């Protein structure tokens, strides 16, 4: 019987990993709360998280995932956004 990794396990693994760690699309889907099919469509469209392709294997660097998430942040006002840029 094979062990199926839960979403919580994947997120915990992501949290404790060094920033240079490479993750598969299953882990990224758990982090983003989306399907692996959406990640595939985004790759085809040239959107989403930057990825590394090694042969036929697709991997995502933790630092790239964190940068992508930071870019998705929604600001409630322009002053909030500008104050973060000034820092």
- The DSSP call for residue 76 is S
pTM recorded for the entire structure: 0.78
pLDDT at 41 over 70: yes
Burial (CB count within 10 angstroms: exposed 0-12, middle 13-18, buried 19+), residue 44: exposed
Per-residue pLDDT tens for 43-74? 999 999 999 999 999 999 999 999 999 998 88
What domains are there in the chain, each with its CATH number? Answer: 7-86 (1.10.10)
The per-residue pLDDT of the chain, averaged, comes to 88
């Amino acid at each position: 019987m094979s062990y199926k990794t839960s979403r919580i396990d994947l997120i915990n693994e992501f949290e404790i990993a060094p920033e240079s760690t490479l993750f598969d699309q299953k882990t990224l889907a758990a982090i983003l709360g989306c399907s692996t099919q959406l990640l595939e469509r985004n790759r085809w469209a040239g959107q989403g998280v930057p990825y590394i392709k090694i042969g036929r294997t697709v991997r995502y660097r933790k630092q790239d995932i964190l940068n992508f998430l930071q870019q998705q942040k929604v600001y409630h006002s322009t002053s909030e956004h500008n104050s973060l840029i000034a820092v």
